[in-house]
Amino acid sequence: MVKRSPTRKTLASLAAELGVSRTTVSNAYSRPDQLSPATRERILAAAKARGYPGPDPTARSLRTRRAGSVGVLLTEHLSYAFEDMASVDFLAGMAEASAGAQTTLTLIPAGPEGEAEATSLVGSAAVDGFVVYSVAAGDAYLAAARGRGLPLVVCDQPTDAGLPFVGIDDRAAIAPAARALVDAGHRHIGILAIRLRLQRHDGPISWQEVQDAEMHVQRSRVMGALDVFAEAGIAPESVPVVTQHINDAHTTRAAAELLLEAHPELTAVLCTTDSMALGVLAYARERGLRVPEDLSVTGFDGIDAARRLDLATVIQPNKAKGAAAGHMLEKLIAGATDTAGSASAKAASRGADEAETVPRRVLQTRFAPGKSVTAPRPRGR
């Protein structure tokens, strides 16, 4: 049995026993590259034998004035973040950005609660800054995060908040998918989209409602597709659009049924997510419809499940997006450690008046034509 000291070991006492500086002991835990492997192993072995667990994170945060964690403000409840594959890829990129930086991720779900609840949850998060992942412009959680005065980066949406931003040009990105359907000869096309409104709405949505939608990403994708259709002589008002608030297997299949049962004349469905497209494929299998012979389908995201099925889809760099947001936030946090950097970061977090002070990165997308689009054949029941 290992005998332990009756008093709790501290970094200082361990350093004194080993005859090294406190910085050397600290580096053994937080900056191992600063020590030789032999020195680090000797310190860790001695610490284990004496029951020393490592530097106190609370004391370290007081000393460095950093919590050692970044908050990731999510659109939905936490389970959704691990069900939606685009979100999974984004979080993987965030984790990749934090690797080796002694920084953890704190996931904060942006639910339907009001301003008081949002202020309480966001206000209690022990973080050095926030990445806000795809929330509406008027979201109470976004307002609460901005109110903290910490460095903040928006990913995807809102796109026009005057804040540091990482994302893609959604309106332009979806154009090749819409154009593939038009070029194949389709004129009876429906659209499936996920959340367009801040308040939950499942079902058909009018052209006017699309234009007024608060959720910028989905609004831009729908309008980008309608731009292409309009150029081909297809009036935007004539294109049926069905939306679902949640982007899972059950709701996307239900959306496909709602659209195609109400509009049997459709020969193609453009989807603003791959999950929506997978729902269309599931519905088509159940109804004996062949894709693409009876029904052409396009998606958006480029998730693995869609690529394996050779779905025509827009591939966006979800993982790279997460990494870019993480790196941008880390630079803002690092800049906040000195007076000038702190002023710059806080100004950016508030939405500085001078646009050139606000970092913005727009990533590129590409279209994978797949095998889910071909010339239309008349449909009917």
Tens-digit pLDDT profile for residues 361-374: 999 999 999 999 99
Q: Which of 269, 286, 287, 277 shows the shortest CA–CA distance to 309?
A: 277
Length of the chain measured in residues: 381
Q: Which of 210, 201, 204 shows the shortest CA–CA distance to 240?
A: 204
Q: What are the residues whose beta carbons fall under 8 Å from the beta carbon of 121, sequence distance 6 or more? A: 108, 113, 141, 144
pTM confidence score: 0.76
Beta strand 241-244 with 203-204 is antiparallel
What sections of 295-377 are H helices per DSSP? 304-308, 318-335, 339-350
Is the separation of the CB atoms in 260 and 191 below 8 Å? Answer: no
Judged by DSSP in three states, 99 sits in coil
Task: Say which DSSP state 360 is in.
Answer: E
From first to last of its 381 residues, the chain has per-residue pLDDT tens of 444 444 557 778 888 888 888 888 877 776 677 788 888 888 888 888 887 776 655 455 545 566 788 889 886 666 666 767 888 889 899 888 877 666 888 888 776 556 667 777 888 888 899 999 988 877 888 888 888 889 999 999 888 878 999 999 999 999 999 999 999 999 999 999 998 887 788 899 998 899 988 888 999 999 999 999 999 999 999 999 999 987 788 889 999 999 999 999 999 999 999 999 999 999 999 999 999 999 999 999 999 999 999 999 999 999 999 999 999 999 998 887 553 344 444 544 554 444 458 899 999 999 999 999 999 986 544
- Distance, CA of 3 to CA of 326 (rounded, Å): 44
- Distance, CA of 217 to CA of 159 (rounded, Å): 8
pLDDT tens for residues 194-233?
988 877 888 999 988 999 888 889 999 999 999 999 999 9
Burial class (CB in 10 A: 0-12, 13-18, 19+), 127: buried
Which amino acid does the sequence have at 229?
F
Judged by DSSP in three states, 163 sits in coil
Query: Kindly report the CA angle at 273 between 264 and 84, in degrees rounded to 5?
Result: 125
Q: Which of 191, 180, 178, 192 shows the shortest CA–CA distance to 224?
A: 178
Q: What are the residues whose beta carbons fall under 8 Å from the beta carbon of 21, sequence distance 6 or more? A: 15
pLDDT tens for residues 81-96?
676 788 888 989 988 8
User: Which residues, listed in sequence order, are joined to residue 36 by a DSSP beta bridge?
Assistant: none
Annotate 55-83 with b (16+ C-beta within 10 A) or e (fewer). beeeebeeeeebbbbbbbbbbbeeeebeb
Peptide bond into 53 cis (omega under 30): no
Which amino acid does the sequence have at 359?
P
Q: Which of 326, 335, 303, 297 shows the shortest CA–CA distance to 69?
A: 326
Q: To which residue do tokens 């946090």 refer?
A: 333
